[in-house]
A and B are shown apart, each in its own frame.
Chain A
Amino acid sequence: MSGTQLRGRGLPRGRAWAVLCALTLLLLAPAVMAATSSGATPAGEAGGAEYRSAFGASSRVVVWVVAELHLMFGAFVLGVPIFASIVEVVGWRTGERRYDDLAHEFTKLLSAAFSTTAAFGGLLVFALFGLYPRFMAVLTGIFHETFYIYALLFFAEGFTLYLYYYGWERMQERWKGLHVVLGILLNIWGTLLMLLANSWASYMMSPTGIDKETLRFVGTTWQAVANPLWIPLGIHRILGNIAFGGFIVGAYAAVKFLGARSDEDRAHYDWMGYVGNFVGLSALIPLPFAGYYLGREVYSTSAVMGNNMMGGAFSWTFIIQAVLIGILFIGGNYYLWAGMGRIDGAERYQPYIKYINLVLLLSFAVWLTPRNIPLSGEEQMALGGQFHPLLKYLGLMSAKNAAVNFIILSTFFSFLLYRRGNKGEPRPFATHGRGGLVALGAAAAVSVGLLLWYGSSLLALDPRSLDLTAAQAVYFRPPALLLFGQAAMVLLTGWLTLRNRGKLAQALFFASTAAASVFFLGVYGFVIMEKANPFLRNVAVAQWLMVMVCLLWNTAIDVLLFRGADTVGAIRWGTMPARSQFALVLLCVTIVMLMGLMGFIRSGLREDWHIYGVLQDTSPWAWTPTNAYMMRVVGSIVVVFLGLISFIFWLAGLGERKREQGRPA
């Protein structure tokens, strides 16, 4: 590639300056922090102003808006490299150049997004130190050493990004492996950066190293970093960022698709939208489980905070969250179903879709059912009590666990139908040779191993560890036996697959998983809530494990089943209806709103504490806003974020347009 071409595909000089300025800002931040650091400051001591206001505005709203914008851009610059790396590896291994081009196209966006993220980060630091000086003095006293590591990681990420982007063309062919490693390194730096920043946020929720009597910090920096919510929050955010990146890519592709003037462009952006949706949905599927893990750890850290989350001031916020997640799953499924219209042969599976739709809608109805709503005396009289005689059960955790597992199974089923849309009859298993046997055996071993491990751990569970009596251990047996039963089903369906009855095997495994995880354990959960309530969380893990194994095992069977199978029709890329593209836009808007809402919940759970139970928020803004107020603020943030992201996409497209105009006829 010529030097001219390189410059054309590289960073414009202005943007490079912006990146440099942002880096400088970020470097200044630790210096400011260090200057204001006062060592291990006792939480109760105040020095100077405790709070200030910026231009008469509410300090909380200022910090809320800036922090959320920083987080959204952060999610973008962390999610997109993960997306780009995955896509690049797929392109490298399959030899399909379009994947490589797609990864490159999105890496191009990163430089401008990176500098915007840093600029918002710098603004956030200034806002925090200016508006909440006492709180920041305490936090700096605990974390100041990590600030320098943060800055170094930022440098590492910045330089790796430049190498990754500028070296794209030079590292094709022979050096592609090294380029892939650079992409992975970029993600490692980014993830470490996120984890470090997460430690500050999670420490505010679950502080460690605190002397209970004096409320002074007496621990080490590492103790503060490795607080109980650090890892659960990290896992939740990583998955959230991947889904976020995927759906933003999908929306970008949708806008380009709608404006495309040639069939070639439409086909390209149709395919890009499909890949974005696929990545987004893939990360979305395990996300509820990561959320469950985080919620469980919140409970373990503070029952007060946990109860406030699910049964207190934030319980209705989770109803709104359920609406948003419902839109994501139903929208994602709708896009897949619309996509089947462009696959010849997929019409064979169309009749199933109405049933999947029904399952999704019913499951979401369960998820949305609140346990308790404020009723007037007359309404209670009409209802015969505080609760509806039937619906009250749907408001409990056990019903919601069953519903979310059913939603995930249904979405996975949708994807399998889409995947086999144009596939004909599978080839006999023997044609896959030893490799097929090894792959199937490995998937079976992992599946059976996981099921047996958790089943046996339930049988060996000491009831005293859950504050239950020995007699109550009898309730541990049914889920354990179901797990063993599912392990046996893996072996049975594996045998059927070897006997060329793979489709039957998949159907059987779907059915047994739904029966065990959704129906049996869903109902059994109510028994547990009545008889041995602390064991309910183990039941939830058993349900989750069965569903995850179903995804793993059925995918393994499906890949082998249709490997090399005849195709009965082609995929006509670019023939999607416009409404399907609006579904992609809907997914993008929804996940950005969801990110804003989850940020509110995470931060709001602390109520009137800066550092939970240690440093109280005595500012005039220490009250929990209503959901209506929250969504107005989050909605405004989302409008600003999407506007800025659109601007960045437009900026990135400027160079392309210039090249196209300069292209010889």
Chain B
Amino acid sequence: MKRPFLGVVVFTLAVILALVGIAELVTRVSGEGGPRPAAALTSADITPEAGEAIFWGKGKCSTCHAVGSRGASIRGPNQGDSGPLGLPIGARAVERAKERSRATGRPYTVTDYLVESVTEPGAYVVEGFKNEMPDPTRPPISLKPEELRAVILYLQTLGGEPDPAAVRLPERLLAAAKGAPATQEWRPYLPGDQAKGEKLFFDADSNAACGKCHAVKDRGGKVGPELTQVAGTRDPKFIIESILDPSKDISSGYEPVLIVTKDNRYITGIVKKEDATHVEVMDNQAEIQKIAKAEIQQRAPQKTSLMPGNFKEILTVEEFHHLLAFVLTLR
């Protein structure tokens, strides 16, 4: 054979290129990749849709559970029609709640059963399956309380109706999320005026002017988390803390980041969208900047929220309680 080594080199490169081509094909067929989900859930948009996104994404529930004919996992019970008892999880939870009541002697609502299933997976294991579901509140999944609520809302919709008010997470989880022990029922020092609070919230010239950054329904800005249902998902203590010390617990998806570009531009904001090549950052004026990753020299997460941390100084005690009274109506 003439020039055998050259023939082998050409053959080798052809094999490698063919295998790379197969991977390209697999990527197209599987539909994998693409940009990552823009952001994790915020306290204000706890909806079944958000829960569904977590179920099939960050929560990794779908790697064990299918829902009817969607998904292929069999390690855990199917949560759709083809699941145990021939019922979807939202419907079969009625039977399960009765079972749990009998077994523990405590009253269980349908949602109590769902909450227990998600937050204490080992408490009740469906026959034929192993007690191996990880605690989704612990690493590596690390779902936050609002994310757990959203998942439970989604499970409720599988054969039932969503009922946010019925979702009561264990105190230990809420306490752990806040890094503080569980508290007694909270009461404000002063009764606030909701109407005055609403004015303070939306008036751009007021001392608070929260609406510049936060939306309630379709009114307000988009820089910070939407607060339409914040009081339904967060307790008052957390809300007070979030107003007075916004950097203590920054909502998931709103963690600020400092990006230094190679041409020495400093950009601070919240990552709204990211893919393999670009990152989109929203600054505190709601301006979106798209930065090529190749241009990034340094990227550092910031511990200080974009929300001003001086409300304890610029709001009077009365103003603060008016504002709080309004926010606590947002359910």
Where the two chains meet, the residues of A that have a C-beta atom closer than 8 Å to any C-beta of B are 49-51, 53, 56, 58, 212, 215, 251, 254-255, 258-259, 302-305, 307-308, 311-313, 316, 319-320, 323-324, 370-374, 385-387, 392, 395-396, 466-469, 472, 529, 531-534, 578, 582, 585-586, 589-590, 593, 607, 609, 612-614, 616, 618-620, 623, 625-632, 635, 638-639, 642
Contacts and interface: CB of A to CB of B under 8 A. Distances in A.
Contact of B60 (A304, A316, A387): A304
B70 A582 contact: no
B39 interface: no
Nearest to B75: A307
A245 to B, nearest CB: 18
Contacts of A387: 69, 72
B238 interface: no
Contact of B4 (A259, A307, A372, A466): A259
Contacts of A308: 60, 63
A385 B66 CA distance: 14
Given A259-B4, A307-B64, A628-B24, A466 B30 contact: no
Interface of B: 1, 4-5, 7-8, 11-13, 15-17, 19-20, 22-24, 26-27, 29-33, 36, 60, 63-64, 69-75, 125, 127-134, 138-141, 262, 274, 276, 279, 293-294, 296-301
Contacts of B36: 623
B70 A466 contact: no
A436 B4 CA distance: 47
Nearest to B16: A635
Nearest to A372: B72
Contacts of A620: 279, 293, 296, 299
Contacts of B296: 53, 620
Contact of B19 (A472, A616, A635): A635
A590 B32 contact: no
Contacts of A324: 19
A635 B127 CA distance: 46
8 contacts: A258-B4, A303-B132, A316-B27, A372-B72, A386-B70, A585-B12, A590-B15, A631-B19
Contacts of B71: 372
A613 B139 contact: yes
A593 B279 contact: no
B60 A312 contact: yes
B276 A302 contact: no
Greatest chain A CB density within 10 A among B7, B70, B296 is at B7
A466 B129 CA distance: 9
B60 to A, nearest CB: 6
Given A467-B125, A585-B12, A631-B20, A320 B140 contact: no
Contacts of A529: 74
A184 B82 CA distance: 57
Given A467-B130, A620-B293, A629-B276, A593 B19 contact: yes
Main secondary structure of the interface of B (DSSP, over half): mixed
B5 A319 contact: no
B60 A307 contact: yes
Contact of B15 (A303, A586, A609): A586
A307 B75 CA distance: 9
B294 A56 contact: yes
Contacts of B17: 635
A308 B73 CA distance: 11
A303 B136 CA distance: 11
B121 to A, nearest CB: 10
Given A259-B1, A303-B75, A628-B24, A534 B139 contact: no
Given A324-B19, A386-B69, A303 B64 contact: yes
Nearest to B3: A259
Nearest to B73: A311
Contacts of A53: 296-298
Contact of B140 (A312, A392, A612): A612
Contacts of B23: 320, 627-628, 630-632
Contacts of B70: 386
B298 to A, nearest CB: 8
B16 A639 contact: yes
6 closest A-B pairs by CB: A307-B63, A631-B23, A258-B4, A626-B33, A613-B139, A372-B72
Given A251-B8, A259-B5, 8 more contacts: A56-B262, A215-B139, A258-B8, A320-B19, A467-B130, A469-B127, A593-B19, A639-B13
Contacts of A58: 293
A313 B34 CA distance: 13
Given A311-B73, A629-B276, A319 B64 contact: no
Nearest to B30: A316
A300 B149 CA distance: 28
A56 B125 CA distance: 51
A534 B64 contact: no
Contacts of A609: 139-140
A371 B274 CA distance: 29
Contacts of B132: 303, 467
A626 B298 CA distance: 24
Nearest to A633: B20
Given A467-B129, A614-B139, A629-B276, A254 B33 contact: no
Contacts of B12: 585, 589, 642
Contacts of B30: 316, 370, 373-374, 627
Contact of B130 (A255, A466, A631): A466
Nearest to B23: A631
A623 B276 contact: yes
Contacts of A586: 11, 15
Contacts of B276: 623, 625-626, 629
B63 A312 contact: yes
A251 B8 CA distance: 9
A212 B176 CA distance: 13
A304 B69 contact: no
Given A585-B8, A620-B293, A630-B23, A303 B300 contact: no
Contacts of B274: 623
B16 A467 contact: no
A304 B134 contact: yes
Nearest to B255: A618
B8 A371 contact: no
A578 B7 CA distance: 11
B270 to A, nearest CB: 15
Contacts of B29: 373
A316 B4 contact: no
A324 B18 CA distance: 11
B37 to A, nearest CB: 11
A311 B141 CA distance: 16
Contacts of A578: 1
A585 B20 contact: no
A607 B140 contact: yes
Contact of A593 (B16, B73, B139): B16
A348 B91 CA distance: 66
A582 B134 CA distance: 48
A387 B68 CA distance: 11
A50 B300 contact: yes
Given A469-B127, A639-B16, A304 B141 contact: yes
Contacts of B11: 582, 585-586
Contacts of B15: 585-586, 589-590
B2 to A, nearest CB: 10
A638 B74 contact: no
Contacts of A532: 128
Contacts of A307: 60, 63-64, 73, 75
Contacts of B4: 255, 258-259
Nearest to B59: A304
A618 B20 CA distance: 29
A640 to B, nearest CB: 11
Greatest chain A CB density within 10 A among B17, B27, B132, B274 is at B27
Nearest to B1: A258
A215 B73 CA distance: 31
Contacts of A534: 129-130
A585 to B, nearest CB: 5
